[in-house]
Amino acid sequence: MDRLGEEEAEVTLPAAGTRSVGEGPAVVVLDHGSGNVRSVVRALEAAGARVELTADRDRALAADGLVVPGVGAFATTARQVRAVGGDRIIERRLAGGRPVLGICVGLQIMFSSGTEHGEHSRGLDQWPGEVTRIQAPVVPHMGWNSVAPAAESRLFAGIEQERFYFVHSYAARSWEMDPIGPLTPPAVTWAQHGGDRFIAAVENGALTATQFHPEKSGAAGAQLLRNWLETLPRQSPAGTGHTPGAVEHTSGAAGHTSSAGA
């Protein structure tokens, strides 16, 4: 569960760089009823993206990047995403190597399942593993915290020592995906709260997600979003759907891999 709501930290985002918003990549924020969508939209715009808030299937599939935000309970968020066809949109984008970014509960539902208050719920099963309650003296974990980025991380380039804003009581506390042949393994970033270690971010080919809120993480969060935007392949000018640059995603739970041609 993510408790971000009325207690949201109001952080002023720095202005985007010299590139105007109109020149940036096209990003759809999936509108499935999450409470933090407006701040996500504003943060992405400040980072240089052209942003649309919608659940329209064709728009979500055509965008350079798709963002799946989430606050509240695991079961509720998974149900809301499925209700707008978001699970099928995400699966189809990943099958074509089209980037997806999950935020907070948007990260959690990418795992196979979650257990909150004794209720076991099915996730989107992109990664094996279960989301459970943080084992710490003080829960929720709310506030700024440092992370330990994976050595190969592109998401945290230039911000490896920065702190990010967390508000959650549940997390993925282990990484269970086995290596698959010669494929590059996912880059997993970790954090700790009260002595309990949990996943703070995952970079798995086309699928990226953060447990913290980049849109509430000030300058560090703004740079992280810019880093993600810089990884987005852009649709060809002819609108043929060809994606320059290959992006490979490994779905350990489903046991398959997907890639887009260069």
The catalytic site residues sit at 104, 213, 215
What is the spatial distance between Cα 125 and Cα 112, in angstroms, rounded to a whole number? 4
Residue 169: which of 143, 142, 146, 188 has the closest Cα? 142
CB count within 10 Å of CB 39 equals: 18
Residue 29: which of 214, 239, 240 has the closest Cα? 214
Q: Are 11 and 217 in contact (CB under 8 A)?
A: yes
β-sheet with 207-210: strand ranges across = 50-54, 26-30, 65-68, 100-103, 207-210, 196-204, 187-193
Burial profile 204-238: b = 16 or more Cβ within 10 angstroms, e = fewer: bbbbbbbbbbbbbbbebbbbbbbbbbebbbebeee
What is the spatial distance between Cα 72 and Cα 124, in angstroms, rounded to a whole number? 16
Residue 110: which of 93, 96, 91 has the closest Cα? 91
